[in-house]
Chains A and B, each alone.
Chain A
Amino acid sequence: MPVTNAYRIYPCGDHAVTIELGDTINAAVNEKVIALFGYLKEKQLTGVRDIIPAYHTVTIVYDIGVLRKQQPNATSYHTMCTWLQDAMNAVKIAQASKTNLVRIPVCYDPSLAPDIESLSQQHNITVDGMINLHTGKNYRVYMIGFLPGFAYMGSVDEKIATPRRSQPRTLVPAGSVGIAGEQTGIYPLDSPGGWQLIGRTPVSLFAADKESPCYLQPGDEVQFYAISLTEYAKQKQR
């Protein structure tokens, strides 16, 4: 299936260009994003420094000098726009791309989940009910951003959707599982952060020394399952 023609291209600064393939968060738009990202990455265009897929956009960061050398009479922005238009005509969404299902253990014990009790009160759902709702469905990884290996996943059941904390924490421990609006995510590294923390996983989401350092990729499907504090400690030791 060819990617539809409905798109918008705009500069993201003087050394980057963004193509927007839709205006909502949904799997179909995100499939297009991943297809275009894969296509552009394979092309290995000279002068391209980074390709950043997000929910509904793909952004290319480029080297002005390299592009101007190739096309001295055009702005590098213009050159990139032409390339992107050509890519949109050529790219196909992979036929029924097989989804990678990743199961991730999470300990929801309040000692590792500082916000789970307040969310439980706020939504008038028991902690067990919160856990059932969070583990009760599979989530799509829409994009990696914010921190190395931080996967933005969605969407959580609207009964447990919660805005970010008004005061972000100065230190969120690596492995913390959080909710922000209808998104859920896992902090791969110790970091400041404003997501509501409802659990922690012993799994390492980012390993700097690995060839592919991220545990999750855009397009993956994630299923959380609950583990006890003892099991958390055991797996953490491995």
Chain B
Amino acid sequence: MSLYIHKSGILDTIQDAGRYGYQHLGINPGGVMDAMAMQVANILVGNSIEEAVLEMHFPAAEIVFEDNVLIALSGADLSASIDGTEVPILHPVWIRKGTTLRFGKQREGARIYLAIQGGYQANQWLHSYSTHLKVKAGGFEGRALQKNDRLFFKVNHDSFIPAGKNFLILPWQANVSELYTNNTFQFVRGAEYEWLTIPSKQQLEKNSFLISRQSDRMGYRLEGEILHATGKELISTAVTRGTIQLLPDGQLIILMADHQTTGGYPRVGHLISADMPSLAQMNSGQSFTLQQATIEMAETKWMQQQSNLRQLQNACNFRLQEYVY
């Protein structure tokens, strides 16, 4: 009931929907970067949508499955293959014991998620499986997976793999085209939006922003034309996932999953929740534009996404019945 890390990737961690309820202690929520991909992968294997998944980056781990298991991959396309045969993302796949999952070229996206039916046995810290690297708690011993680690499954199951085959790709795919956005992301105004000069407000929505190499799970630093704001000093206050801060050098940073709980830079805007998964799948070197939205628009888009996800879940659960006891 386990998988074995034959070769580790650059940052392979167990994550779930995040550790909420502790930000007043300075403990940031963390969790998956792409919450949509986590939910889709879980839906494909019939899990509850917030079950912990393995989040991997490029290059990703090489994984040996030590038992039969139903898996799904979602998020980035890193040319996954099983014992040399390519397997697509967004399908449920039955895997036979002893086979190896490898990744090749980075085709699209930044983060790939591996869900297994029933979920992983991992450490919970403050009611979440998410790995908190700084505190060294949660997930797999509070750290990224390394070579020779063995990650156990919560449940054991029989499989439907025909004799002589190493895996079976189940014949349906999650359509996620409606769930992601390309290249233009929406934001709502931040409390310090008005600090921006009029030309800078215009630039914010006209210019394109390049994701810098200094981007990670904490934040995406952007490169663009310098923005100007009136030079007031801000008293440190809360920030959230998606907060767009204006740094002293006139560049922007968008806070991601591992953001700090508070900050002292002007908050010119906040990316809307519905667009965060799309941003999380962008790599450094790619660029995008920003477009202003109202809170109403942001909430409506988010509700629409949730309803699409529920439809996907119903459809997948129905199909999965034939293949799972």
* A and B: interacting chains: yes
**Which residues of A are in contact with B by a Cβ distance under 8 Å?**
10-16, 18, 20, 23-25, 37, 49-57, 59, 61, 64-65, 68, 75-77, 143-150, 152, 188-191, 206, 208, 213-214, 218
Given A11, A52, A56, which contacts B235 in the complex, CB threshold below 8 Å?
Answer: A56
Is the pair B191, A10 in contact by a Cβ cutoff of 8 Å? yes
Q: Give every chain B residue within 8 A of A61 (Cβ-Cβ).
A: 20, 23, 240
Binary A-proximity of B274-315 (CB < 8 A = 1, otherwise 0): 000000000000000000000110110011001000000000
CA distance A18 to B270 in the complex (A): 13
Q: What residues of chain B lie closer than 8 Å to A77, measured between beta carbons? A: 295, 299
Shortest beta-carbon distance, A188 to chain B, in Å? Answer: 8
| CB-contact partner of B298 in A14, A23, A144, A208, under 8 A | A14
- A14 to B188, Cβ gap below 8 A? yes
A residues within 8 A CB of B302? 14, 64-65
B299 near A68 with CB under 8 A, answer yes
Cβ–Cβ contact A52 & B306, under 8 A: no
How far, in Å, is B248 (CB) from chain A's closest CB?
10
Known contacts A52-B238, A59-B238; A12/B135 CB under 8 A = no
Partner of A149, one of B26, B137, B235, B238: B26
B273 touches A (CB below 8 Å): yes
- Alpha-carbon separation in the docked complex, A61 to B134 (Å): 22
Chain B interface residue bracket vs A = 35 or more
Query: CA separation between A12 and B272, bound complex, in Å?
Result: 11
Q: Are B260 and A147 in contact, CB atoms less than 8 angstroms apart?
A: yes
B237 near A59: Cβ-Cβ < 8 Å: yes
Q: Are B20 and A49 in contact (CB under 8 A)?
A: yes
Chain B 124-157 near chain A by CB (<8 Å), digits 1 or 0: 0100000010111100000000000000000000
Q: Is the CB of B24 within 8 A of A53?
A: yes
A residues in contact with B134, CB < 8 Å: 147-148, 189-191
Q: What is the CA–CA distance of A51 and B262 in the complex, to the nearest angstrom?
A: 12
Question: Residues of B at under 8 Å CB distance from A?
Answer: 20-29, 125, 132, 134-137, 188-191, 235-243, 260-262, 267, 270-273, 295-296, 298-299, 302-303, 306
Complex interface: chain A residues within 8 A of B241 (CB): 13
What is the CB-to-nearest-CB distance from A12 to chain B, in angstroms, rounded to a whole number?
Answer: 6
A21 to B25 Cα, complex, angstroms: 20
Residues of B within 8 A of A25 (CB): 235
Q: Is the CB of B26 within 8 A of A147?
A: yes
**Can you give 19 A-B contacts (C-beta < 8 A)?**
A12-B239, A13-B243, A13-B273, A14-B298, A24-B235, A50-B24, A54-B238, A54-B262, A55-B236, A61-B240, A77-B295, A143-B262, A145-B238, A145-B260, A145-B261, A145-B262, A147-B260, A208-B125, A208-B135
Q: How far is the CA of A39 from the CA of B242 in the complex (A)?
A: 27
CB neighbours (8 Å) of B189 from chain A are: 11
How far apart sit A208 and B189, CA to CA, in the bound complex (Å)?
Answer: 36
- The answer to whether residues A214 and B26 also contact, given A14-B298, A50-B21, A64-B299 and a CB cut-off of 8 A, is yes
Question: Taking the nearest CB of chain B, how far is it from the CB of A73, in angstroms?
Answer: 12
Asked if B295 and A14 make an inter-chain contact with CB atoms under 8 angstroms apart, the answer reads: yes
Are B236's CB and A144's CB within 8 A? no
Given contacts A65-B306, A77-B295, contact A144 B25 (CB under 8 A): yes
